[in-house]
Structure 1
Amino acid sequence: MTLNPKQKQADNTSASSGSLWHPTKLDNKLPPYLSLVQALSTDIESGRLRPGDRLPPHRDLARDLGLSIGTVSKAYREAQSRGYLSSHVGQGTFAIGKAAPKPPLARNADFINLGLNQPPRHSQLETLQRAMQETLNSPYLEELFAYHQHQGRPEHREVIAGWMARQSFKPSPDQLIICNGAQHAIDIAIRLSTKPGQSVATDALTYFGFKAVADVNNIGLTGIAMDAQGMLPEALDEACGAYDIHCVYLMPTLQTPTARTMSEARRRAIAKVAERHRLMIIEDNVYGFFAETAPISFAELLPDQTIYIESFSKCLLPAFRVGMAVIPPALMDRAILFLHATSWMSSSFLVEAASRMIKSGALQDVIAASRTEARARYKIFQEELSGHVREELPNPSPGNHVWLNLGEDWTSASFYFAAHSNGILVSPPDSVNATLAPLGVRLCLGGVDRHEDLRLSLRKLRSIMETPSSSIVSFV
């Protein structure tokens, strides 16, 4: 946002000198209220805005910046919740200095947790609180707690299908099922695509949650070789000729654990193999929201052979268990039967809150903030460990996890135990490989609240990597 000359003159003066505070710069890449929060926190941290300084009234700052009063009020509330501001009725809003420091490792008293892929905290909780309060005040609240169609209420499916639509992928609400999280959707997808005793092709390094679902359904996994973009189409083609494979599980955007993203050419090549061998595709796109320009999906390329999955928990908070799957018409009746058998229905209360966030634009604001935070954390990762990351390609749309290649001196198991002995949790090495031993570890950058704690933990890992493994592991 460009500030006018009058604003710039005011901004060159400390708020303590008599003039009220105005931001020097607003980040256009953030939602307006979050860019204002960022400007407030920056000026408080730098000392430009000092304890006791009075902030402009909401209306005045909104007029000066060309924002709505609601946007400024929202920014003030968010800054207050982070400990930067104090508001007193009849007196105004005041800076209270730097936010009270959180104890290191606030989410785990004993360890820095880089093993659990959870979103870093920013504005999600406040957004959820607002949406849930609006839902509680709804005149239709009693209906939300009643029985409804197994696949979800029609009005909710219409809103969510519209939100999922992109390019030529425009799912019909009638093909959409709402589940209790993406893990529930994966369970239904694997039941629709395979039978006990059959095999599913996965990346050689795959999502451990999918391994768990396959295991309880007595489904075997066939690991397919990967490169920097993920699964190799020629390797999938060869495996289909050698094994009884009926389905392929793919996470084409920010694959976990490796954080690799397929190009459009790679997706089209994989789709040709799947079409030739009549494979069902389970497309897990729970991290797709990080990409500002949505890549083409397998559901667009092979709609009759693809079960497409998304979720809200990765962009909001883990306990917001609302997932959704787009089902090919031929499988819809069985999908509804599996919904009936596994959970009866999803929570209409949570789905109503999600629908409200979609319609108000609040969910898109959270996603924009998540992208900005992910880029900031990925930059820290690059600064601290890029020299030790082999074959890792910079990602223009990073997510909350990265893959750390360890080289020849370390095994994944020895590095895991060395990190553990230094107070850092990384993803256990036996939880990510389908059939091959991993040559690295996944690091989840969102589980540490403060950037400085993240940086220190990555420096610890760098120090471990620079020490011969034999001299460390012998003491573990």
Structure 2
Amino acid sequence: MPINSFDEYPMSWKPDIRNISAPLYIAIAHQLEQDIKDGKLMPGTKLPPQRELADFLDVNLSTITRAFKLCGQKGFIYASIGSGTFVSTDAASNKMLLPANHATPMIEMGSVLPDNLVNDDIARFMKKMLNEPSFSKLFQYGRPEGNAWQNEAVMKLFELVNFQTDQPILLGAGGQNAIVGTLAALFQPGDRIGTDPITYAGIKTAANMLGIQLVAIQQCQGEMTREGLLYACKNEHIKGIYVIPDFHNPTTHTMSVETRKMIAEVARQKDLLVIEDAIYSFLKEQPLAPIASFAPDKVIYIASLSKTLSPGLRLSFLVTPSALRKKIMETLYNINISVSPLMLELAARLIHEGVAQTILEKHRAYAKQQNALVNKYLGDYDILGEEECIFRWLYLPDKFTGVQFELLASKAGVQVYAAERFAVGNTKPVNAVRLAIAAPEAQLEQALIILKDLLESNGDYAFVD
């Protein structure tokens, strides 16, 4: 029994550890996790101080510390130095943002995928490869960095985004694979990485899996500030940062050159590693120089093809500081053994023969067409996104939260994703949703009509299960 009586004491969480068989810290962590999943502890709830909770349960402080650490590594709770420990904003949400099989027809505006209009072009190109005598050699293991001709193709692609490097290119099986490999190679469980307060869900799932904590960096006008970065270095002890400078997912923001230079400067000053996710950079007609061009010794630059050419081209390209290259290459080898030589050769040929560039132009033209439709129906609302971007960020009227609107839209047959899915730590998400815009034109127009009707409704979501 607890030493002190807490019957009338206002604690936000009072676990019951009677009749447990597991080690105490595991049992407490399990109960905390379960209470969050069951909705007994809501996102943003401030948990009791560790010492207070230890007193209540009559256990050692180290037991509570270990339990909180376990839940923190899984992403269920978030510790803010000087403020306390909170239930993570997204603790109860599904962080895997992939198209689902729905019992009823659903128009997909949740998952960000490029249009599939060019897949026939890629298939025709691949059929030509099938008739070549050497085609069967593409079913062997590949090299971790590709051959000179393939590297030349990647460099050609990098020219489109004003990036030049003399470093060899490492290969990954897609952008997410490259992110996981980089995190696993360079960070340890318990390490902290700075991100935007609202960020790509994939970095959150990867960090949770590896026991890495994400820290929201203070922003001004959608960009990290120098003061925010320096504060996080001093007080949150971050070891690195993760950024998406072009068409930030989900907010669509493109980072200014000044902020790119500032991040490079702070990275050098504070010995930070920067993971630069350039997954959408190829879609920009007038791209800015990447952060890697300002601090090549501190930046791991990741580009990939699935969002810009075709989802089936699961291929990513990494440019790393020379001192980190071996460690990242070994980690990618342990994860992948090899990327597909067939995919690599196909991508290299598409680039060398100008087909990839033509595909990018087609994607941009289609995105502009789709975005014109979005503007037609939702232009009166606060909606962000450039005309080449394949998703938009819709700020909602005050009568909706993101979660409420996502549920309403789903009930009406349209899948969108709420800001809560992208929130980091105890960040209070804005009332917003991300809209992917690559659905077939007729479907997109139908979905936009539905969303506009919902926005114009009285905000009654009582009918949602």
* TM-score (normalised: structure 1): 0.72
1:373 has 2:366 as partner = yes
Q: Equivalent residue for 2:302?
A: 309
Counterpart amino acid of residue 225 in structure 2 = L
Residue 296 of structure 1 deviates from its aligned partner by 1.1
Q: Could you tell me how far apart the structure 2 residues matched to 1:159 and 1:342 are?
A: 24
Q: Equivalent residue for 1:218?
A: 211
State which of 130, 133, 140 in structure 2 corresponds to 1:139.
Answer: 133
Deviations 1:335-378 (A, max 9, x none): 22112211111101111111111111111111001111111111
1:444 has 2:436 as partner = yes
1:262 has 2:255 as partner = yes
- Determine helix, strand or coil for the equivalent of 1:178: strand
1:420 has 2:410 as partner = yes
Q: Could you tell me how far apart the structure 2 residues matched to 1:181 and 1:199 are?
A: 24
State which of 90, 110, 120 in structure 2 corresponds to 1:115.
Answer: 110
State which of 369, 390, 396 in structure 2 corresponds to 1:400.
Answer: 390
- Determine helix, strand or coil for the equivalent of 2:292: helix
1:185 has 2:178 as partner = yes
State which of 418, 421, 426 in structure 2 corresponds to 1:431.
Answer: 421
State which of 329, 349, 352 in structure 2 corresponds to 1:359.
Answer: 352
Contact 1:197 1:218 in 2 (8 A): yes
Deviations 1:309-353 (A, max 9, x none): 111111222122111111111111112211221111110111111
**What is the percentage of aligned positions where both structures have the same residue?**
27
Residue 113 of structure 1 deviates from its aligned partner by 1.0
Q: Could you tell me how far apart the structure 1 residues matched to 2:162 and 2:179 are?
A: 24
Contact 2:397 2:455 in 1 (8 A): no
- Determine helix, strand or coil for the equivalent of 1:388: coil
Residue 263 of structure 1 deviates from its aligned partner by 1.5
RMSD of Structure 2 on Structure 1 (CA): 2.1
State which of 298, 301, 320 in structure 1 corresponds to 2:291.
Answer: 298
Residue 295 of structure 1 deviates from its aligned partner by 0.4
Counterpart amino acid of residue 305 in structure 2 = F
- Determine helix, strand or coil for the equivalent of 2:417: coil
State which of 126, 145, 150 in structure 1 corresponds to 2:144.
Answer: 150
Contact 2:384 2:392 in 1 (8 A): no
Contact 2:191 2:239 in 1 (8 A): yes
Q: Could you tell me how far apart the structure 2 residues matched to 1:255 and 1:146 are?
A: 36
Q: Could you tell me how far apart the structure 2 residues matched to 1:349 and 1:393 are?
A: 38
Q: Equivalent residue for 2:79?
A: none
Distance of aligned partners of 1:126 and 1:375 in 2 relative to their CA distance in 1, 3 Å threshold: same
Q: Equivalent residue for 2:67?
A: none
Q: Which of structure 1's runs of 4+ aligned residues deviate more than 6 A?
A: none
Select between 142-151 and 317-326 the one with higher mean Cα deviation: 142-151
Distance of aligned partners of 1:198 and 1:326 in 2 relative to their CA distance in 1, 3 Å threshold: same
Unaligned runs of 5+ in 2: 1-98
Contact 1:233 1:270 in 2 (8 A): yes
Q: Could you tell me how far apart the structure 1 residues matched to 2:385 and 2:315 are?
A: 31
Alignment of 1:32-431 (within 5 A): 110-122=105-117, 124-165=118-159, 169-172=163-166, 175-389=168-382, 392=383, 395=386, 397-431=387-421
Q: Could you tell me how far apart the structure 1 residues matched to 2:454 and 2:220 are?
A: 26
Q: Could you tell me how far apart the structure 1 residues matched to 2:462 and 2:122 are?
A: 44
Q: What is the aligned length?
A: 363
Counterpart amino acid of residue 142 in structure 1 = S
Q: Could you tell me how far apart the structure 2 residues matched to 1:212 and 1:167 are?
A: 28
Counterpart amino acid of residue 159 in structure 1 = A
- Determine helix, strand or coil for the equivalent of 1:245: coil
Distance of aligned partners of 1:167 and 1:183 in 2 relative to their CA distance in 1, 3 Å threshold: closer
Q: Could you tell me how far apart the structure 1 residues matched to 2:178 and 2:186 are?
A: 12
- Determine helix, strand or coil for the equivalent of 1:325: strand
- Determine helix, strand or coil for the equivalent of 2:342: helix
Q: Could you tell me how far apart the structure 2 residues matched to 1:217 and 1:368 are?
A: 37
Q: Could you tell me how far apart the structure 1 residues matched to 2:214 and 2:277 are?
A: 16
Contact 1:306 1:328 in 2 (8 A): yes
Q: Equivalent residue for 2:61?
A: none
Contact 1:152 1:345 in 2 (8 A): no
